[in-house]
Chains A and B, each alone.
Chain A
Amino acid sequence: MIYFDSAATTLQKPRAVSAAVASAIGNLTTPGRGEHSASRMASEKMLALRTLASKMFDVSSPENVVLTMNATHALNLAIKSLVSPGDTVVISGYEHNAVTRPLHAIGDVTVRVVNGQLFNADQMAEGFEKAVDGDVKAVICTHVSNAFGYVLPIDDIAAICKKHGIPLIVDASQSAGILPVRLGAWGAAYVAMPGHKGLYGPQGTGLLLCGNGRLPDPLLQGGTGSLSRLQEMPDFLPDRMEAGTQNVHGAAGLLEGLRFVSGFVPGRIARYEGHLISMLADGLRRKKNYRVFHSGDDMSVLSVTHNSLVPEELSEKLAEKGVATRAGLHCAPLAHLSAGTGQTGTLRLSASVFNTEAEVERVLALMP
């Protein structure tokens, strides 16, 4: 299979990831519970993960790195900690349902959507400048659009939030492991990311990075191995947010994924994936029967539409020939509305470090 659906989840993982998961099963038990070596080793593995993540993503303390099931879980934790009914929030016009659905579920939330032309970062930043004021409770913004690969001006948006003292939640689902993600430099309240996309970890893992002094509200209450006589969840991280047995096997794999990604020269992954996506974009433009949504060389995601075939038909034809893509709205109807593809969606191709130029050429040959 030629796999170009890494924006959904990366299929090819470094060998060390699966080896770590396999080793964890049968050797690691629950951290923070027993006195035996299997529990201690599990605790050490978790600390190693938190420590590496805190260094990679500019988090002040390993304890501020919370293990979640995925980015959606992390976003729900962050959003529901900051936003209550009656609040006003600002989001970009390119957010995923993992942001818009929790806001909808909270109810009675005024959502100011900063619409902007696709790939126009200056316009987006100006839009946030106008939308953010003292009435705003939180700003939630994706770093990279999962549908279009559009890199939003997070540095500018973070500066606007800092200026107004508004907490910022960043959805780093498509940027973690590819572009610099810096909780501390942004001054963000929370950053959410999946473990199973650009970090090459197993499914069932994600991270919620918490800003200094932030104490999110837990979604689950249960055992933490600490302060067990108290019936309130602990008032410190990460225990407060990690009731029950964590996915230690997954965490062991995610640690290897982080090690894999951090072994690259900074920017190398973004440049390589951007190069492959640019090759795809240029090749499809030459076919003349595609509308190609592409700008710049730092994109790992490409969306296209065909003059006569709907995206689902395109995706099916490619799947029959062994090419994995994704068609539709990509769980981001807001993004498609903003880009003008709300009626049909798009065909999305998304790269990983394991894709090659030869694969790009093969895909171009197979595209109708």
Chain B
Amino acid sequence: MYFCMAVFFYTFRAMKRCGGANLCASSGLNIYRLLRIHSYGEAVGLQSYLLICRSITHAQRMNAVLQSAGVSGRIFRPPVGLTEKGCSYAIRIGAPYFAQAMRHLRLAQLLPERVFVSADNGGYREIVP
């Protein structure tokens, strides 16, 4: 039931984001888009990647590339203890879109400083992409 409520709520929000697209006319496409919007996993518990950026400006530029490529990500501040250098910014993206994201970032020459993936214990472990 909660899943249905979440689908309803996020579908409504997706419709607004999609400029009021007619859900009935293209319900399959919009539900796909809905799942992509929440592909970073917070709503539905999928694995996610953190792309660590050196600064807010770096994060914004990377996110702009990802958005152009149709990959939804969220800029946020990761826990300060994640890296030894203190405050940073990261983009969180869902696991299914990681390879696509990295491909576009490589093309734009805007690679993250480091990459972490969500671990089974709720934390993050670093990977080398």
Contacts and interface: CB of A to CB of B under 8 A. Distances in A.
Contact of A227 (B57, B75, B77, B85): B85
Interface string A123-160: 00000000000000000000000000000000000000
6 contacts: A43-B56, A47-B60, A62-B61, A227-B54, A227-B88, A239-B57
A31 interface: yes
A44 B85 CA distance: 24
Interface string A207-236: 000000000000000001111111000101
The 3 closest A-B pairs by CB, nearest first: A229-B86, A228-B86, A32-B56
Contacts of B56: 31-32, 43, 225-226
Contacts of A227: 54, 85-88
A234 B54 contact: yes
Given A225-B55, A226-B55, A236-B54, A43 B60 contact: yes
B76 interface: yes
Contacts of A43: 56-57, 60
B55 to A, nearest CB: 5
B33 interface: no
A229 B84 CA distance: 7
B76 A228 contact: no
A226 B54 contact: yes
A249 interface: no
Given A35-B76, A226-B87, A227-B85, A239 B55 contact: yes
A47 B55 CA distance: 12
B58 interface: yes
Given A50-B57, A228-B80, 4 more contacts: A43-B57, A63-B57, A226-B54, A229-B80
Contacts of A61: 61
A238 interface: yes
B87 A228 contact: yes
A236 B76 CA distance: 20
Contacts of B60: 43-44, 47
B57 A62 contact: yes
Interface in B78-93: 80, 84-89
A46 interface: yes
A229 B85 contact: yes
A99 B67 CA distance: 43
Nearest to B61: A62
Interface residues of A, number: 23
Contacts, number: 60
A227 B55 CA distance: 8
Given A35-B76, A43-B60, A234 B86 contact: no
Contacts of B87: 225-229
Given A43-B56, A224-B55, A227-B54, A63 B84 contact: no
Nearest to A43: B56
A236 B86 contact: no
Interface in B10-58: 54-58
Nearest to A227: B85
A346 B60 CA distance: 48
A43 B89 CA distance: 12
Nearest to B57: A63
A234 B60 CA distance: 18
A325 B99 CA distance: 61
B60 to A, nearest CB: 5
A230 B84 CA distance: 9
A35 B80 CA distance: 13
Contact of B86 (A63, A230, A239): A230
A223 B108 CA distance: 29
A43 B56 CA distance: 7
Contact of B55 (A44, A230, A234): A234
Interface in A303-347: none
Nearest to A32: B56
B57 A238 contact: yes
A47 B61 contact: yes
B82 to A, nearest CB: 11
